[in-house]
């Protein structure tokens, strides 16, 4: 199985913890970018399969255009304050475990019933 490319964007502790946890998976190529210019540069080097960002600090006006460039992108916004994960589809999970996030990334799921 070819490694899936995951880009994480943000400087929050949540994003750092998720990046560190996902980096342990040998089937994932994890890239953590603290500033937007890094995201653009890394996306140019290798088209990401998954993009994870912190909902509280990221602007949708810069993130959503990534979907126009790559409609297959799995876009996951994480919000630690309300304990939720939001997918590009607009569906929300009230409580999404890190294990479930990893399963979604590995399988490339976009339409999920959010059962955990």
Task: Note whether residue 50 is domain-resident.
Answer: yes
Domain that holds residue 19: 4-107
pTM: 0.73
Q: Average pLDDT in the 84-107 region?
A: 70
In the prediction, which pLDDT does 110 show?
A: 54
Whats the size of the chain, residue-wise?
A: 116
In the prediction, which pLDDT does 30 show?
A: 93
The pLDDT confidence band at residue 114, using thresholds 50, 70 and 90, is very low
Degrees to nearest 5, angle at CA 20 with 99 and 80: 60
Task: Note whether residue 84 is domain-resident.
Answer: yes
CA pair distance 37, 63, nearest whole angstrom: 12
What is the count of structural domains for the chain? Answer: 1
Cβ contacts of 72 within 8 Å, gap of 6 or more = 49, 108
Phi, psi of 77 (to 5 degrees): -100, 130
Q: What CATH number does the domain containing 89 carry?
A: 3.40.50.2300
Nearest to 90 by CA among 116, 69, 67, 111: 111
CA pair distance 114, 97, nearest whole angstrom: 10
Task: Note whether residue 69 is domain-resident.
Answer: yes
In the prediction, which pLDDT does 91 show?
A: 43
Residue 18 has pLDDT above 70, yes or no: yes
Instruction: Average the pLDDT over each of 13-22, 31-40, 89-98 and give the range with the smallest value.
Output: 89-98
């Amino acid at each position: 199985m070819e490694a899936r490319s995951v880009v994480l964007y943000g400087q929050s502790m949540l994003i750092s913890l998720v990046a560190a946890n996902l980096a342990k998976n040998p089937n994932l190529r994890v890239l953590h970018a603290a500033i937007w210019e890094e995201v653009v540069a890394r996306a140019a080097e290798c088209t990401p399969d998954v993009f994870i960002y912190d909902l509280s600090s990221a602007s949708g006006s810069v993130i959503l255009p990534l979907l126009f460039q790559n409609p297959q992108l799995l876009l996951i916004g994480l919000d630690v304050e309300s304990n939720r994960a939001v997918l590009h589809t607009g569906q929300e999970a009230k409580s999404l475990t890190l294990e479930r996030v990893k399963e979604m990334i590995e399988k490339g799921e976009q339409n999920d019933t959010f059962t955990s």
